[in-house]
Each structure stands twice: as C-alpha cells, then as structure tokens.
Amino acid sequence: MIFRGLEWVELAKRLLFSCLVLLLSACASSPAVVIASKPMVVPPMLKPEPPKWSESNLLSFHNQWKGTPYRLGGLSRNGVDCSGFVYLAYLNIVGDKLPRTVNSQRILGKEIPRNQLKTGDLVFFKTTRTVRHVGIYMGNDRFLHASTKKGVKISSLNNIYWKPRFWFAKRLKNPTAEQNMSIASLVDHVQQQDDL
C-alpha cells in the first residue's frame, strides 16, 4: 500500500490524536491508593549548651598559655595583658566576647562578695592608685591571670601581694546583653566609678 502525501499527514494526525486521547484518559483514571507507613517521630534538635566554667577547663586553658609573657595590649602567645587574657579565656571557654579593657570588663555583671566566689567569676584588683588588674577565679582562693612580672599564671587571693589589693568580684550571667549599653553610658559609668 502506497500512501500519498495528504493521506500520510491525515494518518499521522489520527495517530497523534489517538495517542493524546489515550494519554489523557490515563491521567483521568483514579489514582492508586498509597498507604503511608506510620510517621517516624524525630526528637527535636537540642541546642548544645556552651561549655561551663570549671577548674579543669581553666587548667587546660592555663596549660595552653602558661608562661606567655605579659605585654600591654597583647592578644597572642607572644604576649598578652590581663584583660586580653580574660577576653581570650571567656571567648575560648564560654564562646562569648567581653569588652577588651579592664575598665570595660569591670562594669559588667553583678558584684559578688569574696566569700561567695564561684569558678569563672572575674576578680579585680587595685594594684596602684590608677592601675587595675583582672583575673578569673578558679576555686580554692586561686585565680588565673596574666601577671606583669611572670606572665600567665595561677595565683592565690591570699597571696601577700594580692590579698590587700583585692577590689571586688563580678559574676557575668549574660555578657552579650550587658555589652549592648551605648558607648556614652559606658564611658559615663566608668568615669563615675573612678570618682568613687
């Protein structure tokens, strides 16, 4: 059988129409019923708690920095100052940033009596009429700090040098919220404290 040009086009149209009808009728048929298995209960992801202050993680941090010399403004193992060391310890152990200077760190948190100190509290000292020093309380009357003469070390609050120079201690609950004070009020507060 020989198809002419027009007959061939007509045959192709019918074939295409038949395929289209078949295809559309398949779409119109009722869908297959799928029975879902029981939903799997996935427990919610718990946000991991930041590391807590402990004597062991302070000792570990001390071992990493032990013997690092004191250097005013320093933030590396080539040299670090007291507030820089506290800044780095807080960042490393707790994961939060503190202000960088003693004067800025001393206005954070809640003042704590010396007999209620807990590991992680900041301890402040007046070493001269104008110079201030900060360290981190470790428990058992010891604190970790960057000493001007011996670098990073652990000292006793009852040490003949440190005991009479103890000024106050602070406990930081939420330093990031407290840091949101405006610069102007921060400077005002520090100046008022210096006048006391």
List residues with catalytic annotation: 82, 133, 145
Return d(Cα 134, Cα 124) in angstroms, integer.
5
- CA–CA gap between residue 196 and residue 65 (Å, rounded): 35
Kindly report the number of other CB atoms within 10 A of residue 124's CB atom.
Answer: 19
How is residue 54 written in tokens? 């402990």
Token couple for 29: 């048929």
> Can you count the helices (H) and strands (E) in the chain?
6, 8
Euclidean distance between CA atoms 48 and 99, whole angstroms:
25
What is the rounded CA–CA span in Å between residue 113 and residue 66?
28
CA angle, 23 as apex, 18 and 25 as ends, to 5°? 95
Of 117, 116, 91, 111, the closest CA to residue 168 belongs to: 111
